[in-house]
Amino acid sequence: MPPISDSRKRILVTGGAGFLGSHLIDRLLEQGHEVICVDNLFSSTKRNIDHLHSNPRFEFMRHDVCFPLYVEVDEIYNLACPASPIHYQHDPIQTLKTSVHGAINMLGLAKRLKCKILQASTSEVYGDPSVHPQTEEYWGNVNPIGPRSCYDEGKRAAETLFFDYHRQHDLPIKVARIFNTYGPRMHRQDGRVVSNFIVQALLNQPITIYGDGTQSRSFCYVDDLVEGFIRLMATDASVVGPINIGNTREFTILELANMVIEITRSRSELVWMPLPGDDPRQRQPDVSKAREILHWEPTVAAHDGLARTVGYFREMLAGEIRAL
């Protein structure tokens, strides 16, 4: 195979048909790269990548990362894993396998190719944090046997594997810890608070708030998240992470519900449900490292990002909205 020039790389994105992966692939293709999208479509959909099939630099491969993969690439973004509680709790053993076996297989591929590999980790490695905001040095407060443990501990184990491959094999790794991210192409039934609230509001259904609504989150728009990924991958070998990628603006779940009602002009009422087990009370990143090392910080305001996301769901639900 002829070598690929510095200006054009062949890049593998696992989980590429998912919400985050498909946006990342859009950006990589816009930059002129060739992209291999690998996904088993367990929690993702081909709809997210339908617009890419006519692009000669895009290739889709249906594959489960729990099994070895043999391709020739210059960089790997490992995003493969169901990320919403509804999806990852549906088959918790498979979720853990995807994080651990998937990491082993992708790290093995990167070791053979001697290429950079980025792990899409998560703020869930911090669990229900006793430190606020969360810095990368915080080791977390995670329940190892709870209903969310398949995801939380799977991602923690994947980080361990990445750093052991780095120390033992001098592999050029990058680890990004993603905080709550939202935007177009979210699954309408993924159980996440932003998509739940928007779908319920557009259909004038009761908006479900778990707990008392005072638990807080910070939400990062997907374009900002993708920019952070690309900047982290572009750093030299001395930068490995982990690096928090997220928005520092924190607001309560009740404030989010009211913002969605305002943007959608919904007639929905609020209803209250018990808080799920192990649901963290607070989640906000310290992004000092991202600012200092990547010269990155979020630029999309919450109201603007939510308005774009509402527009996506309004188009998706057009038939149901007209029937109201």
Can you tell me the distance from the alpha carbon of 70 to that of 79, in angstroms, rounded to the nearest whole number? 17
DSSP string, 113-155: HT-EEEEEEEGGGGBS-SSSSBPTT---B--TTSTTHHHHHHH
Given the residues 151, 165, 182, 221, the one annotated as active site: 151
**In angstroms, rounded to a whole number, what is the distance separating the alpha carbons of residues 163 and 166?**
5
Catalytic-residue membership of 165: no
Tokens at 144, concatenated: 């190892």
Q: In the chain, where do the E strands start and end?
A: 10-14, 34-39, 58-62, 75-78, 116-122, 173-178, 181-182, 207-210, 216-218, 220-221, 243-245, 250-252, 270-273
Looking at the chain, how many residues does it have? 324
No. of H helices and E strands in the chain?
10, 13
Which amino acid would we find at residue 298? P
Sign of CA dihedral 4, 110, 35, 245: negative
Distance CA 100, CA 95 (A): 9
Q: Which residue numbers are catalytic?
A: 151
